[in-house]
Structures are given as structure tokens and as C-alpha cells.
Amino acid sequence: MRADSTPTQPTTGTAAGIPYVAVPPAVATDHQAPMIIALHAFEPPRSEAALAGTLPLASLPAWRFYLGLPMFGARLPEGGVAEVNRRGQADYLIELFGPVVEQAAAELPRAVGELREHFPVADSSVGLMGVGAGGAAALLALAESRMPIAAAGIVNPVIEPRAVLSARERRLGIPYSWTDTSREVASWLDFTARAGDIAARRPQPPLLIVSGQQDDVIEPERGRELRDALAAQYPAEALRHIEVPDLAHAMGPEPGLQPGPPAPGNVLADRALAEWFHTHLTAAARASAEETVRLS
């Protein structure tokens, strides 16, 4: 089923129980546009609306769907913010970060399937974008999901959770209590160590890794390490790591539920993502559509 009329303005809704902001292509096309699924961070931007304003990819001839993470916004658990804080204090990795990343990655295929039922998008592989913890969920989907992914772009991704736990220790002055279970989860979500799983996808989705030079949680070296781990198994043109000046881990002011004013680092990250997806998603989709027309 397809929508009878194509929205021309951003809309909100829920797909597979997940709240979203849907942004149509800025320019009408003569064929159905591909779709990009985007996941926000734990820090600003920490909502689907905030991410839509922070990384709008405005010039891209594609549908952009910004999804809300589990335990955020309309999906807060019973007990609300206080319960989220309790889980973070009890065991940030086991009770909060790990479950959110796992569920966000696992529910992507259901969300994509339902969005296809309601929006006039191309029946092609999707683009995938994530920031912070949303970037970790995107990497987990690349490593484990069978959902067709045409291209991916991640900004300040949590490449491995030990870095986040170390940052929390520095900020709170409270050491994290490691257990056998938490070590296992940390290894599972260490995507540099899991580079082979990501590279094993066929076809291999082109991957852009964007690191902020001011990110003191996931330092740029982490992005370089992930790129280096993938480089031996990836075509050079399908893998890129860039460092953006003036880009910190949090891409906006608190509380992070709405986009902040445009910042130079955010603008540069947005431009890099738009160019990446234009090259590896929308241009490829157009070429495929034109080839289909010629053969029909």
C-alpha cells in the first residue's frame, strides 16, 4: 500500500510503535525517492525532532525518517525519567545503554516495513544514519541485521561502550563495577573488534564515520581505529573517516529535545553526510530507476 498523496512538509507519527519525524525530499522527483533512517543520541540531539533539525540533510533527494530511541521521549518506561536515571545509576551498561542499543537495532526492519506502507518511498535498500548511541545501534544493525542497507553514515558513534563508561567515571567520580556479564556486553558492542562482522555483509554498504575533534567521549582516534580495522576488508571508495573541527560529542545545548542554533561543526557534519548519501544512495537509486525504465 502507498499513500494516495505525497506529503510536502515534515510529518510525525508512529511506525511499529516507534515515534518518527518524516521529512520528504525538498525537490520533487520523477521517481520514488529512497529512504534514510536516522537514530538520535543519548546526549543532544536526544529526540527525533532534535536530530531532524541538527542533521536535516536538506538538499538530499531522499525521504528522511528520524526515529525515537527506546526509553526516550514518548517511549519512557513506567516511572519516566526517574526510572531511566535509576537504571543508569544501577548499571549504565547492562540496564540502560545495552538494552536501548539492542532494541533500536532489532526494531529497524519492522519500522522500515511499516513506513513503506505509508510513504511513497522506493523499494530499494535504505540509508542508515546514527549519532552517538544511535550510531552504535546503526553499527549493530550493520553487524547483525539482514535488513538491506545501501549506505550508512555515523556521527560521533559509540564505537565501544568502555569509552562512555570511562567518561561517566570522570564526570561522576564513581568507578564502574565490572562483572562477567558487563564485560561480555562490552565486547559484543565493541565494533572495532567486530569489524569482520560488519565487513562480511553482502553487498557491503559504503560507510562514512564522522568524528568530532572536540569529542572527549569517543575521541577521533576511535573512529580511525574502526576505519583501519575495516580498511583491509572494504573497497577504498566505500569507506571514509573524517574529523570535523569544533564538533563535540553533544551536538547541541541541553535539554536536547529541540535542535539548537546552527553550529559550524554540525553544519560540516550535515554537509558530509548529505554528500555521502547523495553519492552512495540517491544517485545509485536514480541510476537504478533509469535502468529499469530503459529495460521495461
Q: Which of 138-147, 189-198, 275-284 has the lowest mean pLDDT?
A: 275-284
Q: Look at residue 27 in the predicted model and tell me its pLDDT.
A: 78
- Taken in order 113, 115, 119, 125, the sign of the CA dihedral is negative
For residue range 234-255, what is the model confidence (pLDDT) as tens digits?
Answer: 999 999 999 999 999 999 999 9
Query: Under DSSP, is residue 13 helix (H, G, I), strand (E, B) or coil?
Result: strand
| Residue-averaged pLDDT of the chain | 92
List all residues 6 or more positions away from 255 whose beta carbon is below 8 Å from its beta carbon: 44, 46
Q: Look at residue 292 in the predicted model and tell me its pLDDT.
A: 42
Q: Which of 29-38, 159-168, 230-239 has the lowest mean pLDDT?
A: 29-38
If pLDDT is split at 50, 70 and 90, which confidence band does 2 have?
Answer: very low
DSSP-H helix ranges across 72-132? 80-91, 98-106, 108-118
pLDDT exceeds cutoff 90 at 296: no
The percent of residues in the chain predicted with pLDDT above 90, rounded, is 88
CATH topology of domain 11-295: Rossmann fold (3.40.50)
If pLDDT is split at 50, 70 and 90, which confidence band does 178 have?
Answer: very high
pLDDT exceeds cutoff 80 at 63: yes
List all residues 6 or more positions away from 164 whose beta carbon is below 8 Å from its beta carbon: 92, 97, 158, 217, 218
pLDDT exceeds cutoff 70 at 126: yes
For residue range 70-98, what is the model confidence (pLDDT) as tens digits?
Answer: 999 999 999 999 999 999 999 999 999 99
Q: Are 160 and 226 in contact (CB under 8 A)?
A: no
Q: Which three cell numbers stand for residue 47?
A: 529526540
For residue range 180-219, what is the model confidence (pLDDT) as tens digits?
Answer: 999 999 999 999 999 999 999 999 999 999 999 999 999 9
If pLDDT is split at 50, 70 and 90, which confidence band does 103 have?
Answer: very high
pLDDT exceeds cutoff 50 at 294: no
pLDDT exceeds cutoff 80 at 287: no
List all residues 6 or more positions away from 26 whose beta carbon is below 8 Å from its beta carbon: 58, 59, 60, 61
Looking up cell 513506567 gives 78
Spatial separation of the C-alpha atoms in residues 148 and 142, rounded to whole Å: 9
